[in-house]
Amino acid sequence: MDLLKQFLRYLQIERNASALTLKAYQEDVSHFLAWLAVEQGVEQNNIDIAAADSISMRNYIASLRHHGLQKNSIARHLTAIRSFYRFLCREEYADLNPAQAVASPKRDKLLPHFLYYEEVDALLNAPDESLGGRRDKAILEVLYGCGLRVSELTSLDCGSIEHDVGYVRVFGKGAKERIVPIGLEAINVVDRYLAMREELGINNDKQQPLFLNLRGGRLSDRSIRNFINKYTEQISLIKHISPHTLRHSFATHLLDNGADLRSVQELLGHVKLDTTQIYTHVTRSRMREVYDHTHPRA
């Protein structure tokens, strides 16, 4: 419907929302509008958008629960609808925000999956010395060494890494820029990859994508997920690993070794400290595991 298109345009232009956020909001609001059309017994183009009230919202939440959605997914739906109606009220398409008076279900705290040091080491050493192997090793080193999101990594250009001072210029969610330290090992691996590119006549200008696919274009998120799966099988690691697993491992290992939570928040680019605090639960569970396996009276 046209109002949904206007809302998405507003998110993109005025709120600088990422492509993933736009996709999620579009899916969640579309799902609600389809449900509302059925509730009102009309075609979706004829919905009375302003007629929805808090009772409608509670009925909608009940339908989501009935279809097996978890608390986190329901909370995400409510966030999208609340934002949609906030936009409608601002544009005077509605007088009230029906989702405003409805409390979101308390989200379950799902502990992030992470790798132990020896597992990270095995993964980082899995790629070979071909151009593709050097690229993959550089990607793994930067993901783990800098704690980047996969979307942040794929957007890096050759000039994003300041080799002399050991920093990476990253554009995170909402195109917010942050400067992240990068270790010497990761810099060396990236340099070796770029050196081989140069030998093969591949353009290494600062504005060129840092990580290329076989056709010479910017590498996609999906490609990175696929080759991580390949290396996971190669080292016989019985865990599901995604690029985000390396980000989780980055944060967990920093805290394990004494980093303060505030610094880890800055490194990860989290807006709220609450988001970073989930890793303290991971380190506590790791502490318990070590205790249970090592103390004679555990």
Task: Point out the residues that are catalytic.
Answer: 149, 173, 244, 247, 270, 279
Residue 154 three-state SS: helix
No. of H helices and E strands in the chain?
Answer: 12, 3
Provide the b/e sequence for 240-251 (b: ≥16 CB within 10 Å).
Answer: ebebbbbbbbbb
Helices 221-234 and 243-256 pack at an angle, to 10 degrees, of: 70
Q: How many C-alpha atoms does 30 have within 13 Å on its Cβ side? A: 10
Q: Token digits for 155? A: 């957007």
Say how far residue 267 (Cα) sits from the centre of its chain: 14
Six-digit token string for 40 = 């009102």
State the Cα–Cα distance between residues 102 and 104, nearest whole angstrom: 6
C-beta atoms surrounding 67 within 10 Å: 8
86's enclosing H/E stretch is helix 71-90
Considering only CA atoms, give the Rg of the chain.
Answer: 23
Q: Alpha helix (H) ranges present in 103-166?
A: 117-124, 131-146, 150-154
Q: Please, how many CA atoms are within 13 Å of residue 25, restricted to the half-sphere of its CB?
A: 24
Cβ neighbours, 10 Å, residue 167 = 15
